[in-house]
Amino acid sequence: MGLKQTILTYLIAFVVFFAVDMVWLGLVAKGFYRRHLGEMLSAKVNWPAAILFYLLFIAGLVVFAVRPVLLKGGTWEAAALGAFLGLLCYATYDLTNLATLKNWPLVVTIVDLIWGTVLGGGVSVLTVILARFLKI
């Protein structure tokens, strides 16, 4: 897989990720985080930090879950690898918060770990399916 194919695969993952995560954050989980984190939430999102996380997380999915499967592997292997990477990334944030912050809600950690796992696996599978369909 050359650089051009890797970049195209990244772009597919980027679009899939944002479509899925924006639905989660904008519709499904918005009230959940406000209810459980309340005053801990900033009035304004730090977009440079958020965008940097997203760009790095998507790159991780492409490098560690999508690309290996496109080179040699089954679609569901992408789900497993992406899910594991999603769990690791979201666990790093949430378990660190749980360990170091006063009153960090356990329920937020549990929901985020589940979401990171589903998001990583789902984005990886959809990216593999689309990349194969587009013959990248």
The whole domain housing 29 covers 3-37+51-133
The whole-model pTM stands at 0.92
Query: 25 or 78: which carries more pLDDT confidence?
Result: 78
27, pLDDT greater than 90: no
72, pLDDT greater than 90: yes
Split at pLDDT 50, 70, 90, the class of 131 is very high
- Is 41 strand, coil or helix? coil
What whole-number distance in Å separates Cα of residue 124 and Cα of residue 6? 14
How confident is the model at residue 65, as a pLDDT?
97
18, pLDDT greater than 90: yes
- From the list 37, 16, 39, 44, the residue with the least C-alpha distance to 111 is 37
Residue at 90 is within a domain? yes
Residue at 68 is within a domain? yes
Split at pLDDT 50, 70, 90, the class of 61 is very high
Residues with Cβ within 8 Å of 10's Cβ and at least 6 positions away in sequence, in order, are 58, 59, 62
Q: Percentage helix, strand, coil, to 5, in the chain?
A: 85, 0, 15
Residue at 45 is within a domain? no
How confident is the model at residue 45, as a pLDDT?
87
What does the block give as tokens for 20? 């899925």
What whole-number distance in Å separates Cα of residue 34 and Cα of residue 59? 29
Residue at 18 is within a domain? yes
Overall domain count for the chain: 1
Residue at 95 is within a domain? yes
Residue at 127 is within a domain? yes
Mean pLDDT (the chain) is 95
Residue at 72 is within a domain? yes
